[in-house]
Amino acid sequence: MELGISMFGDLKLNQETQLRKAPHQRFTEMLEQVRLADEVGLDVFEMGEHHRADYSVTNPQLFLSAAAAVTKNIQLGSAVTVLSSSDPVRLFEDFSMLDQLSKGRVHIMAGRGSFTESFPLFGFDLNNYDALFEDKLMLLLDLIEKNGTDINWNGRLTQNLQNVNLYPKPYKKQLPVWIAVGGTPASVLRAARLGLPITFAIIGGMPINFKPLIDYYKENYLAAGHNINNMQIGINSHTFVGTSDAIKDDYYPFYAAQMDNIGKDRGWAPFNKEVFLNTTRPEGAYFMGEPNAVIDKILQQHEWFGHTRFVGQMDVGDPDHNMLMKSIELFGTKVAPEVRKVLK
């Protein structure tokens, strides 16, 4: 199993000044964090895309370019690229450049996006939410399959291209594309039929409830004639590791503040500690606590799902930099080696 971390670049709100952390400070911290993730031997680092005041990263590939310069081995990807409101041609060019900069350590994680601010921002109609994604995904896959060479494309909701060549070419033969999904069966079916790697975002509730959806992906992947040896399934969940279970109490204020911030826009009830602690239990979705608890939960879910990648989203609420560095260190030096030992 590949093990890694992801971030959204959250910006903490100072309750006294009502000002958020400066983006340049957050970028400096995140570069230290991804460098540490590389040094402790984690396999994957992924960065999300948002267009809101509470997040710092609007362009994952721009941050990942900086990350490529301070790392040597870790794979770098988006989490996610909101493909529906992006230009597939620009994405191919950007990630090809990033692939060259990193010498082949790049992947694209494409998703429809649970936040919709980018649609009006870039002039797209939310009524075309799914159609935009499908049309742009097929264009992106065509660009990748042909390595940006002699492209002819007539799209429904994209530009038309005639005898187009794109540069630079990626470092690898083909850029890897993963599909990120929440819980929509149609999205799972599309990824399975196309034979694309898939990541399930399990960020609440009871993860065991995702087993039928993951089995659905496996069944349709094989039914479409794809090689089982090429099947890749990822799980992405909120994660935070400490030397003891007391880390839950330390991390809760950061986490709750961001959940309430998002919840104001979505009509959620105020977040409470009972929900938080229940979701950190062995059967819940959060991977939070001391290393052995996180190890046990990863292995338990592997028994359920048989997934090939686990990525823990670690910066929800922009926790203290030193706390987050410790969490990454423990995940890389305590959690990952034990998981690999069992699943070798």
pLDDT digits (tens, 9 = 90+) for 232-262: 999 999 999 999 999 999 999 999 999 999 9
Domain count, the chain: 1
Q: What percent of the chain has pLDDT over 70?
A: 100
Asked whether the predicted pLDDT for residue 174 surpasses 90, the reply is: yes
Q: What is the pLDDT of residue 18?
A: 94
* Contact (CB, 8 A) for 183 and 153: no
Confidence of residue 216 (pLDDT cuts 50, 70, 90): very high
Q: What is the pLDDT of residue 324?
A: 98
**From CA 161, how far away is CA 151, in angstroms rounded?**
7
**From CA 32, how far away is CA 29, in angstroms rounded?**
5
CATH number at residue 286: 3.20.20.30
Domain residue limits at 256: 2-56+65-74+169-343
Average pLDDT, the chain: 97
Confidence of residue 344 (pLDDT cuts 50, 70, 90): confident
* Contact (CB, 8 A) for 83 and 134: no
Question: Within a domain: residue 177?
Answer: yes
Q: Of 93, 26, 112, which is closest to residue 66 (Cα–Cα)?
A: 26
Q: What is the pLDDT of residue 312?
A: 98
Other CB atoms within a 10 A radius of the CB of residue 344 amount to 6
Asked whether the predicted pLDDT for residue 114 surpasses 90, the reply is: no
Q: What is the pLDDT of residue 193?
A: 98
Average the pLDDT over 291-300 and give the result. Answer: 98
**From CA 53, how far away is CA 133, in angstroms rounded?**
25
Average the pLDDT over 143-155 and give the result. Answer: 97
Write the CB contacts of 142 (distance below 8 Å, at least 6 apart in sequence).
151, 153
* Contact (CB, 8 A) for 314 and 328: yes
**From CA 37, how far away is CA 41, in angstroms rounded?**
6
Q: Is 16 exposed, middle or buried (0-12, 13-18, 19+ CB in 10 A)?
A: exposed
Other CB atoms within a 10 A radius of the CB of residue 129 amount to 15
199: left (phi over 0), alpha (psi -120 to 50) or beta: beta
Question: Within a domain: residue 139?
Answer: no
Cα–Cα–Cα angle for 317, 322, 326, rounded to 5 degrees: 95
Q: What is the pLDDT of residue 58?
A: 98
Question: Within a domain: residue 216?
Answer: yes
Q: Of 121, 122, 133, 190, which is closest to residue 157 (Cα–Cα)?
A: 133
Question: Within a domain: residue 257?
Answer: yes
pTM recorded for the entire structure: 0.97
46-100 confidence digits (pLDDT tens): 999 999 999 999 999 999 999 999 999 999 999 999 999 999 999 999 999 999 9
Question: Within a domain: residue 291?
Answer: yes
**From CA 310, how far away is CA 2, in angstroms rounded?**
6
Question: Within a domain: residue 112?
Answer: no
Q: What is the pLDDT of residue 133?
A: 97
Question: Within a domain: residue 120?
Answer: no
What is the chain's Cα-based Rg?
20
Question: Within a domain: residue 97?
Answer: no
Backbone angles phi, psi at 150, to 5 degrees: 50, 55
Using DSSP's 3-state secondary structure scheme, residue 117 falls into coil
* Contact (CB, 8 A) for 56 and 11: yes
